[in-house]
Structure 1
Amino acid sequence: MRVDIYAFAWALIVFFFSIENVPAYAKKNQVELLARTQIASPEIMLSGESVRWIIDNKTIKLAIWGNPHPPIYMGYDSKTYEGIGADYANILAKTLNKRVEVYHFTTLTEAKKGLDQGDVDALAFYTPTDLKADNYLTTQPYLLDYQVVVHKNNLDSQSLLNFKKSELAFVGDDETQRSLRSYFPEARLKPYLYFSEAMASLAYKATDAFWLNASTARFLIKQGVETQAKVMLQTLPATANVSFAVRSENRGLFQAIESTLTALPLADRIRIINNWGLDASFVVKKNPMMLNPDELAWIHQHPNVPVILPRAMHPLSFVDERGFTNGYAHSLLTLIAERTGIKFSHVTPAPGLHEGSLPEKQAQGVIASVIRQPQPEVGMRYSRSFAISPWVLVVDGRGGEFTSLAQMAGKTVTLTHDSGLYSSLKAHYPRVNFELTHNLTDAMLKVVRKQADAAISPQISADYLINKQFYNKLVITNALGIAPANFVMAVSSENPILLNILNKAMLDLSPKTMQQDLSPWQNYQAPPKVTVWDKYSRDLVKVAGLVILLLMFFFVRNRYLGRRLAERRRYEQQLEDQLRFIRTLIDDSPVALYVRDLRWKMLQCNNTYLQFFNTKLETVKDKSLAESGIISAASTKAFQRLYQKTLQSKAPLFTQLSMTTNDGKVSQVYHWSLPYRDHRGEINGIIGGFIDITEREQLLTELKQAKKVAEKAAVSKTIFLAQMSHEIRTPLNALIGLLELEHRQKSAPAKRAHNIAVAWQASQSLLALVGNILDMAKIESGTHNIKTKPISLRDAIQSQLTLFNHLAMQKQLTLSYHCDTTDNDILSDQTMFNQIVANLLSNAIKFTERGKVEVCLQQRDSRRQGLKHYILRVTDTGPGLTEYQQQAIFEPFVQVEDGRTNAEGTGLGLSICRQLANKLNGELTVESQPGVGASFIFDFYAESHCPENISDASVDPETNQRALNILVVDDNAPNRLVLCQQLEYIGHNAVAVEDAHQALIRWNLAKPPFDMVISDCNMPGMDGFELIKQLRNKEQEKKLPRRPMYGLTAMAEHEVVERGKAAGMTACLIKPLSLEALKAHLAVENLTDNAIPAKEGDVKTFFFSRMPNLSSSAIRDLSETLLVSNDQDIKQLQAAISSKNPQQTKDCAHRLLGTARMIKAEKLGHLCSDIERFSASEQWDIIESLLVSCIDEVRDIAFNLEREYEC
């Protein structure tokens, strides 16, 4: 049997596609249930046994098996179960309200074993022949199926009966093959694994017929092989109904499934079947056509019925290009055969016999498609119509203008013999020349060849032929106003039973089914079989064959040469890529690389090598180190020794060496070298490279030096700690000893005053020691801020000389002072300046055993605009300093040797002085020679200041203070006692409480309110910060004037002070608090509040105490104006800050500053000045905090103005 190579190839493609899409299941694998048809759940009544089973079981487990069996089990995805069986399983799940789990088994035998062992509850699909055991209960079928044979059209009737010498394909196991062998003993059985594979082999002539069930055959034929095969019913056991199966003891589940299937409406069953491309015959019981006994007996007596299929009635019946009869009538006969069991055999009419007539010997036959005539041919009867189409006029699409027969007088119109229109049209249109043809193809060809002007055809045939054969050549212009063409089947008048059977079968087919079968033929391409051969056809075939052979030879040869050329180009490209990669790897490497031969000649080097020696490739190429001259002779000899050693060892050599280039640059390099060999394994040269590690060596040297410095600093700090132990214990010894004597009252009354003085001096020394350390910490942390105010240089230095004069006299030293300045008053930080002078004087007196100490202040010409230049020189006749000591004395915690190691001190004084000098826009240096003495020079710049005359209204705070009521809060009893006694000594009233809660109670009950609050910052429970914050809130709630509130702390860190300001503290007092410091703070607050009390009967407020010339009425008017002006100014300032407008903020603050200066409100003036200064840099966080203080200050001013105005 000849097999078409292209058909065979297509079969292989379909086979491999099926293999690819079929899952490789394990023995048991759970898959997902996927329903494609959604059906509403029917209402059912369950038996008691079914209800108990449903309650006892959470899920229904179904078993499926084997390869896909469409459309029952599709197998689109290895992880899903979909198809007709899946749709019914989904109905069970929804109706019984149970989750259905589906498990796939490899074979039916394994599935049955799983059912017997209880792994699953039911089999999802089966046919009665699948199960032969008696222990299964079978539900009613949900698919009425039967076995059929699909075969090619070229099999004759005799071959169809027993498949003699024919190859019959099937899908199944050995048991299926044995069963088929008994029915078709002479057929050659060919098993397949997949239905799609077997159907493809049939379609492309790899086999002759295919035995399978009708639903699968119908589904696969609809997928694309319908025009190449037909279905035939066989006499073997035809029943193949599909049902569920359960174990015999599981009657509860069986009754539940049976009730569900019984309650499912037929419409829903048909909907499921139609969704998968099947018709209602697969769910409706057999004999739906209601055939009577005579008709059934006729079918039994005439199993084979001959049929004549017209060869050119497109698309109802025609012969395609492969010689097969096709068309809608052919498909319709296939559907009738499936319903009736009749086997239709195609016969060819005898020569000279019309296709619309039956041979006498075949009176029991059928003509598949004819056009109904008004009077049928003698001895013929027509069936019911299976297609109706109007008659249309077809003209030449390239120039035809006719739309009706009335326009075609004198024109030629073609139509077929079997149309039955010739007589009537000739009578109505006598002037039209009508010409008859054998078929519609010939009629339309005449129009295309200009042999006729138009053709008359049924629309269905005209559309088909124009779309498939005469596209863009013919067009339909209009429909004729005559009765449409009715296509029917014709049988002998002697055979009315066959006619009834055909009519009942067509009535059984739904209009939807008939339309679905008609649609493919309306769009099917069927060109007419036109073969043109002339007397040279054989020669042309030979020439064409030879040309094809030559073309194939040259094609294969060119393909071979092209492949070799492409392969060569690919290898060349790969080689080039490798060379570029190696070149990039070498040239762009950060390591200097080079290659030398056995004579030390340079063969190759990279860019890093050339850049290191600052040379070009031409300078070193093919030259030795000595010839190129890029390094010194000594370095050249060192490298040659390395090369010799590398060749001798025949192994890589790594070393670190020093290399001097020709420009004298010395570099430290880490060098490596190794021998390279040729293809024989012999050494041909050296590959070398090096890394410049000069910078690394320098870093290592610096690291070692830094380590020495760190170790020295650690030693210095150790010495400092030891010195601090001595410095702290020395004053503590005197302090504790004397206080112990006083405590036990063991001292003599005459010495008591002296003892207390000594103890006080020791405490001051200890305080100064701690102060130095804290000053150093502040300077290092950057929190030691400058507080600029007017000072007199002459007076400041003179006051320090007065302090140290007694100490100089004790050591019999001459202390002299010389001042040569023209501008004596400057703006600077007096505390820092005094600290520098005091430290320099203290060191000079401390380290000078005899001789003198001179202090000299000189003014020099200044190079800085707006600043004055001064030089303060403190010179002693002490032991002097070496150069090393001159550098070391300014380091923290360092005390130099050579006569100064036994001196007391922390080693911080000069370090602090240098830091303070830098902050005061100056520089502190030393000039000294060992044994001669030392001269410390403070060279600084400062702004000159013109002192103002003090008003006569100024008041001495010491003499004008009034007694204040002060609330003291401290949890430490001794500290509380000391502070209260200090306040009482100064002349104020102190009320002491021991925690913050008592302080809140006393503050709330105080009438009048306390004038001042002093609170310890660190207390258990509520600390001092929170206390002051709450007191400030209460002040605002009661609209009281802002009173001074101080924090008392032993921690002098900047963070503590800032936290106090944030909480609302006026300032932080640092422990230990001396009487003078406390008196100074109280004096300032007393001046701010009520330092100058108003005279009785006078309306002047404290703001106008310095304006004696104003009358009472003028002061009253001015007070009212100030209240309104301040309120407006503060609101405008708030708005400017809220909008973050720097210029507007500066203007508002400056306007409020003018008011503050006028009424001598210094605190408000300072706040406004700060706002002006910070607005330039737009530091809004600081500005907002200053605004809060401004608002409080303005509120206090308004309160005092209103109070005194009312008086």
Structure 2
Amino acid sequence: MKEGLLAGLLFLLASFSLESNGKVIQPNKVEVRNTNVFLTQNEKYYLSNKKTLRVGVNLPSFIPFDIVEEGQDNILYSGISSEVIAIISDILDIELDFYFFKTRNEAIAAILKNEIDLITSSNGYELQFGLILSEIYFPDRPILFRSSKINEIKTVSVAYEYLDSERLRSVFPHIEFFFYPSREEAIAAAVFGEVDAVINDLLSLNHSYNNHYIGDLKYQEVIQEVDSKGFAFSFDANNTMLRNIFNKVIASIDTNTLQLIVHRWNGGGITPPTLNELAYIKENVVNKFGQDEISVVVMPHQAPFSYLDEFDNPQGILVELLNLFNIYTGVKINLIVEKELDSAFSLLKNGQVDLVAINESKSRREHFLISDVILRNPFVYVTHKNVMLHDIESVVTTKNSIIKEMMDLSNYKNIQTDGYLSALTKVVSDKKSTAIMPISIANFYIYQYFFEDLEVNGINYELPNAKVAFAALNDNKELMDFVNGLLREIPKGQIEVIANMWRKNAVVANNTWKDYKYTVYTLSISMIIILFLVIIYIVLARKALKIERNLKNQNSEQLNFLQDIVDSIPHPIYFMSENFKIKVSNEAFKSIFNYQNSHSFYFLKRLGYPQYLKLIRRHKEVIQLNESSVEDYTLYIDNQKYVIYHWLRAYSDINGHTSGVIGGWLDISERAKLLDEIEDAKVEAESANSAKSLFLATMSHEIRTPMNVIIGALDLVINYDYSSDEKNKHLNIAYDSAKDLLSLIGDILDLSKIEANELNIIPKDANFKDTISSIFNMFYGLAKQKNVRLIKSYDDTIEPFLMFDDLRLKQILLNVLSNAVKFTDEGSIQIKFVNLGVFDNHQEIKIVIKDTGIGIKQEEVDKLFKTFSQTSSSYNRGGTGLGLMITKNLCELMSGKMDLSSQVDIGTTVSMIFKFPIVENITLLYKNSVEDKDKEEPFEKKKILLVDDHPSNRIILSKQIEQLGHEVLTACDGYDALSVLDKNVDINVVITDCHMPEMDGYELTRNIRGRFFSRNNLIILGLTANAQADIKEKCLLAGMDDCLFKPLDIKELESRIHVKYNDNANAKKVKVSKPNLVINKDVLIYLMNAGVDLTVVFDEFVKTTSVDLSKLSQSNILEDQMELIHRIKSASNMLGFQGIIKICLSIESKYKLEDKDIEHLQSEFNDVIVAMGDFLS
């Protein structure tokens, strides 16, 4: 009945109110792609006949849904509803005609008369007139906002077409409602004081608030009891076909598109949730919680997070967030204001509240459930303007602050206040203090109250960001799940919008005396007490003043005295406080740094920042550990280096607090300089020793080449059945190589040459072709063993007699040919000697040695001429890597050149060029040589006394001398020798071992020359195994005529005796023995051939050596031990017992005898006995 009456009135009204305009522009349309809507055949047929939809729009503008702006030639229609109807038009591919009405009722009347097809931005109001609604395209929750100037709500404004007036009065019976023609007017009525509050949809109210009335309205609550039906399109009740089509299209528009449209028109504030968001939150968050309201504690002095406005109503970011909780869930939020955090925690623990807004910390997480973080804020320093942080002495924090848990404040005075406002007030009064607080709170209060005095002086990077969150009891997990669920579902942009909106726009209520009544009471009582104490103090102070002055004078005198004592110390001394300022120092310290006061600038200027920082860290470590530190330290002051003995000692006051460091130093630069010089001398000594070792290693390598020839030639004689001539040929080759080896050993043991790090080239007249032939013959047999052809090509035009170092040339050819034979497994080795001509009486010769061996990679060739270098493992066949390096050096010493070229799997070619002087008057030289030979004296038998402490040596040497045809007498030591000389006055020659116990050879010689001075023709020859150059000099100084070296060559001995000590003869030879064998059979066979009875000699060796080993194990005197080692070595050397010799040499080289050495000697001696038993049997 009511709907029919209203419809009839509207019919009459509509006939005078219909307006249309043919040209309407819709800007800012959203483009929607790939949207498919399934329509029935009847629906498609309906649209094809319809062609154009007539859309009714209400005037004046309903912002932000319907915004109509009239121009000269057109009308601009925009807003949320405009963009939604434009999307529907695009999807249905149908044109739109717009009709604009001055009132809502006129539009309803037009649709009832079929003059239009639908009305935009409709809600439950249209249902009163019998119209039907489509599915809503944007949800709505009525919101109550109050004026910021009003505390109690008595009157409320509402747009008349928004909600049913009867329903509102039934829900709010004590409130008077006033209805306005548009929602904009209803909002303005609340802002300008016509009413106390307004009820409106959140989106239009939010748009007006953010664009025009920010700060004038405050959120109150969501009205759950009234349903506005949301925003939809309204149709005539008979036009269900069009309504159904619209429902399908609206359902096909995705939520993101609708959210984008709403976000563009929300005025920059909170965007209301969509239907899907509300449904999801209700199902997954609200229904699981099951409570209708919660109580939350907020702090009144933490703007902009939470504070009280001028009407004592809670406001701020957290309050706005809780309002957003209410909008999303409908759960009522009760706000409880508490000034003290301890009181808030008490309410929480007693169950009087559900949540407390706090700063998160580790300790609080241990006692409460903490929600997800709402906001993060860095902690900052707030100081007076133009104050540096390093001048700060005290830090102001609030009570219950988490700063003390996470930051070390031990170096500062900590002041606690009731709140952030009190903390900033304290900083204003104390310029050397700083307050630490979140940056949002700091900026807000400085902007509101302290912008003339205070400033943010930087971020505190020691502290993590302040994290604002909610705290609940540990057993209230459902509540925390509810809070976290909302925080995770509400878009983060919404929370950021709230934070930005409240940062500097809040108006905080002025504090009254009630807020500080306890402070006022405390101050009043304190003033009375202080006044009483002042009176007492004045009375007592007058009496104490005279005493104090006397004490000050005494203290001043004592301090001056102590300062004079400190200044009298010539070394720098100082005291550095815990703030790293010099409080006390002496004149020596001040003179170094030009130091005048306690400012660190002088340190920094003279030391430079890196040194200054390093010293400060060291002092800080001493203070922290409360201990002393002493170490050598290097300082650079004004680019001058000081090495100091720096000492530090922590100083504690009478309370036990470490308040600084006492330090000083001694300048030890001279001592450090001396130590550096000692180290340099040590390095030079080690370098010299290294050079000696390198030379000895080089010569060791050179020994192996002739030894290889000797062993190879003797192997052919022993193991192969050759004719007598062939055996003699091989033995001659071995003998020549042995002679060359003796000459080479002379260089090795000549320490004077080693120290000079050089070898001498000694040219002499020689037959070049004979030298070449001897080397060729050495390697011919070795090459034949490997089935390799050794081919010699000699240019006979080469001058035969040249002046060159025969030994060094042989050494060069030995090294090259040895490598050629070693690395050639098949094919041939060619040796060419080419005459390059005679220039300035010098014969120039080119020697080419070419093999068909494995060859060498080009990158490996250069390595061959470096010390101790060899090719890679694929080419390496043993050796020390010294051969070619030595060969090249010898070539250069002989003014020659050497080149090497090689190809892998083809072979290697070595080319050498020499220039040797030609020897003149060869015939005359040859003739003189023949004449000298003819003039040789006939053999004369001599009587020879042989003196040696070792029986084996005496036996072998006696046999060798007897083979020469001489008579031999023997003596076992010096005393025995003197006795023999007394009895035999016809002795011609004395051969004595230089190294003997009791009386050695040198002392024996001096005794002979003293006692038998009348025997002028008596020849004394020294015999020793030590082939150093100074030994011969020592022998001559003792009175000997010459010195012979073991092993003794028979021909050499004969030559020395026969020509009466010819000093120019070469007296070096090395024993021929196979390495790594217990006994050397070659030596033993040689001795047997010389007529030595090995059974007798070896029995004597065993008895004597057994006694020596027994004495060796019992002796504790190093000199006696070395004496015995030498005896054992000398006897073993004569018989070729190589293992024993090696052990003795090792002991002598380190000049120390250990238990393991005696064990090794005994073991080797036992092996020799076994091996000799097998040999003699």
Same fold (TM over 0.5): no
TM range (shorter): 0.3 to 0.5
**TM-score, normalisation: structure 1:** 0.38
TM-score when normalising by structure 2: 0.39
